[in-house]
Structure 1
Amino acid sequence: MNDVKVIIYTTPTCPWCRKAKAYLNEKGVNFKEIDVSKDQKAAEELVRKTHQMGVPVIQIGNEYVIGFDKKRIDKLLGIN
């Protein structure tokens, strides 16, 4: 089901990040987590690409989901 690369940008204090990670785990989606509070270069790249300074941001393939948007996550991953 999950052939696409998934990256979730998070911070340790973000409750929506925890919910998003739990949801991806529940759906069996493999993902890479990047803690932007510890990776300044990744944080800068994320802002450059998405113009967002908040987290979570979930990259699914070449698409970005801003926040924990289950409907968009499901659509991009082909989850019904």
Structure 2
Amino acid sequence: MKRILLILAALALWQHWDRVEPLLGLSQPVPSQARTGEVILYATSWCGYCAKTRAFLAERAIPYRELDIEKSADGRRAYDALGGRGVPVIDVKGTVIHGYDPQSILAAY
């Protein structure tokens, strides 16, 4: 029974390592690719939430630079460095937002 609990604890730790690592002080701060005041959208052409993010930024007249992670090698490297696991990823003045989250975008902007 102890062995099963240990395996389950290890699996949970592995699945949530991105949340545990900062608590342990092991993570290095990820350098932001955005210049001061810049918003960068890491996206793909087929992503529905990327389209919603584009529309949200356009409706609020927030200037942004878009990097398609499937077409730009530099965009893909930056996306990976930011811990990208899905799209969209938005770098708002150094604050990284994973997924479509209008409230977080406005708060960071």
* Pairwise TM-score range, normalised by the shorter structure: 0.7 to 0.9
Structure number with the higher helix fraction is 2
Q: How high is the TM-score relative to the length of structure 2?
A: 0.63
Listed as ranges, the matches of 1:29-68 within 5 Å are 29-48=62-81, 50-68=82-100
Task: Work out the percentage of aligned pairs sharing the same amino acid.
Answer: 28
Choose between structure 1 and 2 for higher RCO, CA contacts under 8 A separated by at least 6 residues. 1
- The separation in 2 between residues aligned to 1:41 and 1:31, in whole angstroms, is 17
1:24 equivalent in structure 2: 57
Instruction: Show structure 2 runs of 5+ residues with no match.
Output: 1-35
* C-alpha displacement of 1:41: 2.6
* Number of residue pairs aligned between Structure 1 and Structure 2: 74
Instruction: Give the structure-1-normalised TM-score.
Output: 0.84
Tell me, in whole angstroms, the C-alpha distance in 2 between the residues paired with 1:21 and 1:64: 16
Greater C-alpha radius of gyration = 2
Distance in 2 (alpha carbons) for counterparts of 1:32 and 1:41 = 13
